[in-house]
Amino acid sequence: MQKKIAAVHDISGFGRCSLTTAIAVLSACGHQCCPVPSAVLSAHTAYEGITYRDLTEDLPAYVHSFEKLGLRFDAIYSGYLSSGRQIEQVVRLTEHCAADGCLTLVDPVMGDNGKPYTVAQNQEFVDAMRALCRHADVITPNLTEVAMLLGEEPRGFAEDRQSVVLAMRRLAELGPKEIIVTGLHEQGNIGAGYYHAHSGHSGFCFAGEVPAYFPGTGDLFASVLLGVLLRDGESLQSSTGRAVDFVHDCAQYTLAQGTPPIDGVQFECLLGRLAK
């Protein structure tokens, strides 16, 4: 049967990221993506002069409507959240709208490149995000977010394999069953590490690094990962590898097209690769 996913993200009118990416990718994987918008932007925040409307006040009624409709989701997927109050609504979804066997994926969007985002400069928000991770089956932090979740300085966090595995083990103590750490660099490659808390199995998946920075690749990675994980028979290792390879291929394709990196990767023409 087709899987239903409640995706709690912001949505940008321009720039490939968040819900724009999640809806397209999860649909290509054969799933039904049901958006729960946390904010509406005219374009993503790397652009100047954008409009932004926070939807915190709307979320409780939105989620309550899902409850009244009796909706039950096979996955609950959260990305950018602007406040602890929004995090509370993700928890509410997991408590009242989760089907049996529901998979909860939390992308703890709090910072990158050693710097916390504005929303995460508040320790109360970081604590709330850490608590949300306890409700998650899967979390997908980058190295900056790993450090923040562990209560450490976000700058200069080591990314050698041994250090990453130790960090993933520590993150597993927060409660999530599976941890994927994204944005790892190794000898001209970029990829992710994965760790399964129950078995203790860990590993790494890498692909060649493309010489450009594209906003939104974290959203693309997490969406592909979830879309593949929800298929029967797909392991954490294979799902992580598929996500790494797809992001790499999209970045390489976009670089060849010569479009501005700030617009994000051109994943549209490659979505067919995600079909069963």
**What are the b/e assignments for 59-83, b being 16+ CB within 10 Å?**
beebbeebeeeebebbbbbbbbbbb
The verdict on domain 4-259 having CATH code 3.30.360.10 is: no
**What pLDDT is stored for residue 156 in this prediction?**
65
Tokens 């990196």 identify what position?
Answer: 261
Domains of the chain, residue spans: 4-259
pLDDT digits (tens, 9 = 90+) for 3-51: 999 999 999 999 999 999 999 999 999 999 999 999 999 999 999 999 9
Q: In percent, how much of the chain has pLDDT > 70?
A: 99
**What pLDDT is stored for residue 154 in this prediction?**
83
SS3 content of the chain, % helix, strand, coil (to 5): 40, 25, 35
Average pLDDT over all residues of the chain? 96
pLDDT digits (tens, 9 = 90+) for 169-209: 999 999 999 999 999 999 999 999 999 999 999 999 999 99
Confidence of residue 233 (pLDDT cuts 50, 70, 90): confident
pLDDT digits (tens, 9 = 90+) for 144-164: 999 999 999 887 678 899 999
Residue 223 pLDDT > 70, yes or no?
yes
Long-range contacts of 147-156 (CB under 8 A, 24+ apart): 148/108, 148/110, 148/111, 148/116, 148/120, 149/108, 149/174, 154/111, 154/114, 154/115, 154/116, 155/114, 155/115, 156/114
